[in-house]
Amino acid sequence: MENMIEVRNVSKSFGKKGGVITPVLNGADLEVKKGEFVSLMGASGSGKSTLLYLIGGLDREFSGEIEICGQNISSMKEKKLSKIRLGKIGFIFQFYNLVQNLSVEDNILLPSLVAGRSRASLKKELDEILEITGLTEKRKSMPGKLSGGQQQRVAIARAVISHPEILLADEATGNLDSQSGSEIMELFRKLNREKGLTILQVTHSEKCASYGTRTVVLENGKTVTEKNPDSSRVIDTRRDKSMDKQLAYQAI
């Protein structure tokens, strides 16, 4: 199976030259194959969210190499990277980032409309994603009338309506109660299994991590180790025997 995400020897520090420099990542490596649902865990401050933002091209300051769908984004020009972010990557954050004066369906459609799609051309996809996320009856509702779980479903629908190849989620259930969090994770699993969507989520929850096909742990920004791989659940029509033999990713 092809790699959708490849991180090779990536390091990242915060601080200004001449001041205090705080290393966050120090030679991290990671591979995510097509159809995987990978959970990235680690202690607070270990750099897991930082790594996710680097993978998504939201932060450009790092050393090492990152490839997304076979394209090296490490030194890619911003215009080309923007096309990759719009066309190949969907983002989910802990905070829903909905436009409060727009309805559910308008929030979902907004990025696609900005990208040049017409509302008419998106009708079928909108109806489908509303059904998948359980929001059909709420399509005309305003965000302020929704629960936290429902608002996060809107954010997920917005992220996947354009059919990205990768979904990046940063603590997507962090602001939700246990039941709503479980519903969101079930939705992620459904998108992974039924749509073949490749997912990389950052989470501190063992329960949330268990919904994935594989869990990796980022230790102090230096080492990404594999934990309890289950390659049999990767969404792909072929059996990749090498997945059963993957070892810990050693950064240093």
In a domain, 29, yes or no: yes
pLDDT at residue 154, as a whole number: 97
In a domain, 251, yes or no: no
Dig out the tokens for 97 from the structure. 């980032």
In a domain, 222, yes or no: yes
pLDDT at residue 45, as a whole number: 84
Q: How far apart are CA 242 and CA 98, in angstroms?
A: 41
Maximum pairwise Cα distance, the chain: 56
Residues with Cβ within 8 Å of residue 7, at least 6 apart in sequence? 28, 29, 30, 31, 51, 54, 55, 64, 65, 66, 224
In a domain, 250, yes or no: no
pLDDT at residue 17, as a whole number: 65
Whether 152 contacts 187, CB under 8 Å: no
Backbone φ, ψ for residue 26 (5° rounding): -145, 75
Dihedral sign, Cα of residue 53, residue 58, residue 60, residue 64:
positive
Residue with tokens 């992220």: 159
Q: How far apart are CA 97 and CA 76, in angstroms?
A: 27
Q: How many separate domains does the chain show?
A: 1
Local confidence pLDDT in tens for the 252 residues of the chain: 689 999 999 999 887 766 677 888 999 999 999 999 999 999 888 899 999 999 999 998 899 999 999 999 998 999 899 889 888 999 999 888 999 999 999 999 998 998 888 999 999 999 999 999 999 999 999 999 999 999 999 999 999 998 999 999 999 998 899 999 999 999 999 999 999 999 999 999 999 999 999 999 998 776 666 765 554 444 432 333 332 333 222 222
Q: How far apart are CA 205 and CA 39, in angstroms?
A: 10
pLDDT at residue 199, as a whole number: 98
In a domain, 132, yes or no: yes
Q: Residue 59 sits in a domain of what CATH number?
A: 3.40.50.300
Beta bridge partner(s), residue 182: none
Dihedral sign, Cα of residue 208, residue 54, residue 2, residue 196:
positive
Which range of residues forms the domain containing residue 79?
A: 3-245
Give this prediction's pTM: 0.86
